[in-house]
Amino acid sequence: MKNKKNTYLEKSKNQFSLLTILFLALPFLVLSCDIIIDPISTADQYEPNNQRSEAYAIALNTKYSAKISENTDDDWFKISPSHGSDTYDKVLISVTDVSADLKIRLELYSSDGVSLDKLGATTGGQGLTYTIATPGVEYYVRFSGWDGIAYDHSSKGSYSFTVSNLDANDEFAPNHTIETAKSLVFGNSYNGVIVSKHEDDYYKFTNPTPGVWNSYTFGFTNISDDLKVRIYLYGANKSVLRVAGATTAGADLSYTFVSKEDEFYLQVLGWDGIAYDHSSSGSYTLTPVVNGNDDNEPDDTFEQAREITSIPSSGLTLTGTILATAANNNDGDYEFFKVSLANNKKVLWSVTPKASNTELHFRVYDANKEYLGKADGSDGQTITGSMNNTSGSDSFFYIELGAFVGDNGHYTISFTETDADVR
């Protein structure tokens, strides 16, 4: 009996000792578990993404929660904007829910790993908002924790971020090359946006009276405060015809353009107001208007000549417009007149420019288009001529009127008829 009792006591002591050991060890085990389960030290679900080759591809308009698990940690993500590579948009990177101990920093990289820009919060727990105007090409963003002043890899913590396309461009994009120019109608107003300073907006126009010189005005209004508008005009062969620009940010621009082209192009961009293109961005309203020519077009050739079949005894006075300098057999806006000349009659004419800095000149041809003579004026001067017919039959002659156009090419031409000079 004694031996059995001693055995029972020994078993009881052993069980008590095990319970005591477990009881004493429990706080240590719990404490050890608390140390192991550190939410910051635990890598997020996007790891490994510590270098560009491991970048995690994100979806737009989706919130991602991530962690800088230690000071040396980098989080790389790949961004694929929703717009195409042939147009521009603004892409927004919004960083929120930053833990109090993390000073978040982002750095943007091109698809080939070139650093483009960087932005960092200066206070722990502070969020970030970063916007880039860009064509729709792939980018990379690297998140890290820095000291808020100069040194990277100096803090850690958790954060969330979202990447979104802002759909900032206008309805005409993509129209950033002359080949993708959008056709516009005269007389309407159009709202455009230069999203990126590297962007060009191209528009195509059609001459409403093909083959005829026309005057057009391109008005730019509602210019945003940061945009200095510059324009280039191109002919149908896509060579530059004219250049104009506003020198002040936010300033309106109005430019009048004279052309005979059946098709032409307008390029709109932002410049620095002095010399360099692609230096500013912003929004604008474009209003293209056809000013037209005079009511006698086309009258630029012998075959299209304006006919003067009779001249009242009181005389005949007509008006017209030479839109583009017509001189030295160039392709300018000449005005041709075919004037009837009765037998034993004499026709006299005089031509006066409206602008004091417009110089008129004319050539005279017989019915067979043979050159007979000319008159050249000076700025603002009235020039005159006459034709006499004693041939025995009625006839006609041509006047080819040209000008070096100053402020405008408006003119008045007056005809009178008298008896012929008899020699």
- Tokens 């919130």 found at: 63
Distance, CA of 107 to CA of 143 (rounded, Å): 7
Please answer whether residues 396 and 372 qualify as being in contact, where contact means their C-beta atoms are separated by less than 8 angstroms.
no
pLDDT digit string (tens) for 378-418? 999 999 999 999 999 999 999 999 999 999 999 999 999 99
CATH number at residue 377: 2.60.120.380
| Coil vs helix vs strand at 260 | coil
pLDDT tens across 108-124, in order?
A: 999 999 999 999 999 99
Considering the domain architecture, whether residues 284 and 328 belong to the same structural domain is answered as no
Does residue 200 fall inside a structural domain?
yes
- Asked if 312 and 399 sit in the same domain, the reply is yes
Tokens of 187: 């007389």
Total structural domains within the chain = 3
210 and 111 in a common domain: no
Query: Do residue 311 and residue 279 come from a single domain?
Result: no
Q: Does 11 reside within a domain?
A: no
Q: Of 257, 290, 323, at which residue does a domain stop? A: 290
Q: Is 18 exposed, middle or buried (0-12, 13-18, 19+ CB in 10 A)?
A: exposed
In this prediction, residue 34 carries a pLDDT of 38
23 has a pLDDT exceeding 80: no
- Among the three residues 165, 191, 210, which one is the final residue of a domain in this structure? 165
- pTM, full prediction: 0.81
In a domain, 255, yes or no: yes
The reply to whether 193 and 279 lie within a common domain is yes
Q: Kindly report, residue by residue over 204-261, the tens digit of the pLDDT.
A: 999 999 999 999 999 999 999 999 999 999 999 999 999 999 999 999 999 999 999 9
| Same domain, residue pair 350 and 405 | yes
CA angle 108, 110, 112 (to 5 degrees): 135
Whether residues 202 and 158 fall in one domain = no
Residues 158 and 184 in one domain: no
Q: Which residues lie across from 194 on neighbouring strands?
A: 282
In a domain, 349, yes or no: yes
| Segment 347-376 mean pLDDT | 98
Same domain for 272 and 370 = no
The residue from 100, 134, 165 where one domain ends is 165
User: 415 and 310 in one domain?
Assistant: yes
Residue 142 is assigned to a structural domain of this protein: yes
Supply the range of the domain harboring residue 352.
Answer: 306-419
Contact (Cβ atoms closer than 8 angstroms) between residue 262 and residue 299:
no
> pLDDT band at residue 266, thresholds of 50, 70 and 90?
very high
Dist. CA 409–CA 256, nearest whole Å: 14
**372 and 273 inside one domain:** no
